């Protein structure tokens, strides 16, 4: 049996991570400037190769932690890319993941050390190989997920205003939403906890802060509820 394996072609398996973040300027993507050939000096998704002792999810977790310093990050496997000439150096198959993080929580020094940088999704530079295709697919999946399921645990601070939540949805969906309709649908889900605290920076009267009720959110996920924005 081992002799049969030795006769089989060997290929490399890469994991590429599309890391989304959100701040006051909108939806962001974390990219890294490549420091080796080919395509040295050009922008790339965050990635690495699968190790012998890892499964794909473990590799994605390791890569995300290496570049952000974060644990327990929401991520989802997206797609595999197996075009023969996608990497000019070696036959390489890539499996893509997308991850959602709160930019305020990541390790900024790690990002700086790895020559990584946050870009607005709408102003992201041209990427190497087929990474532009991966990014487009990830954005499409994120928008679809956002249109039918509540999102925000991963991208917003623990306490947030309703305007911040609205702006997050508008940034992801790349369209303006009707404020009253949005608030009505979100409130009808009963997944937010309204706090007695206010954000006094938003206006003279201030805006009430909210938190997600994670237990109710997870319970509704089990029942396959739909948001329909």
220 and 184 in contact (C-beta within 8 Å)?
no
Nearest to 10 by CA among 85, 71, 90, 114: 90
Q: Rounded to whole angstroms, how far apart are CA atoms 210 and 221?
A: 20
DSSP secondary structure, 117-148, as one string: EEEEGGGPPPBSTTHHHHHHHHHHHHHHHHHH
Can you give the three-state secondary structure of 157-176, one letter per residue? CCCEEHHHHHHHHHHHHCCC
Q: Indicate if the pLDDT at residue 224 is higher than 70.
A: no
CA 194 to the chain's CA centroid: 26
Confidence of residue 215 (pLDDT cuts 50, 70, 90): confident
pLDDT at 1: 54
Mean pLDDT of 125-136: 97
Mean pLDDT of 188-212: 87
Q: What is the pLDDT of residues 81-121, one digit of tens each?
A: 999 999 999 999 999 999 998 888 888 888 888 889 999 99
How are the residues of the chain apportioned to helix, strand and coil, as percentages rounded to the nearest 5?
35, 30, 35
Q: What is the pLDDT of residues 13-37, one digit of tens each?
A: 999 999 999 987 889 999 999 988 9
Q: What is the pLDDT of residues 132-190, one digit of tens each?
A: 999 999 999 999 888 777 777 788 888 999 999 999 999 999 899 999 999 998 888 88
- What domains lie within the chain, and their CATH numbers? 12-148 (3.90.79.10), 160-222 (1.10.10.10)
Terminal CA-CA length for the chain = 54
Mean pLDDT of 61-85: 92
Residues sharing a CB contact under 8 Å with residue 94, sequence separation 6 or more, in sequence order: 13, 14, 15, 16, 47, 80, 81, 86, 130, 134
Q: Rounded to whole angstroms, how far apart are CA atoms 87 and 150?
A: 37
């Amino acid at each position: 049996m081992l002799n049969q394996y030795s006769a089989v072609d060997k290929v490399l398996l890469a994991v590429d991570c599309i890391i989304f973040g959100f701040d006051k300027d909108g939806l962001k993507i974390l990219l890294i400037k490549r420091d080796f050939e080919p395509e040295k000096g050009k922008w790339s998704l965050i990635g690495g190769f699968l190790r012998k002792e890892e499964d794909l999810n473990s590799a994605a977790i390791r890569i995300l932690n290496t570049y952000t310093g974060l644990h327990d990050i929401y991520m989802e496997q997206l797609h595999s890319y197996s075009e023969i000439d996608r990497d000019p150096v070696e036959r390489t198959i890539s499996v893509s993941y997308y991850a959602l993080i709160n930019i305020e929580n990541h390790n900024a020094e790690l990002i700086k050390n790895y020559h990584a940088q946050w870009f607005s999704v709408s102003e992201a530079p041209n990427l190497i190989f087929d990474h532009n295709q991966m990014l487009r697919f990830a954005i499409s999946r994120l928008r679809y997920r956002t249109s039918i399921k509540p999102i925000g645990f991963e991208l917003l601070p623990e306490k947030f205003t309703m305007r911040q939540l609205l702006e997050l949805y508008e940034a992801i969906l790349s369209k303006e939403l009707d404020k009253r309709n949005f608030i009505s649908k979100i409130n009808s889900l009963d997944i937010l906890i309204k706090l007695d605290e206010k954000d006094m920076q938003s206006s003279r009267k201030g805006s009430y802060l909210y938190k997600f009720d994670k237990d109710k959110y997870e319970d509704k996920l089990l029942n396959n509820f739909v948001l329909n924005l």
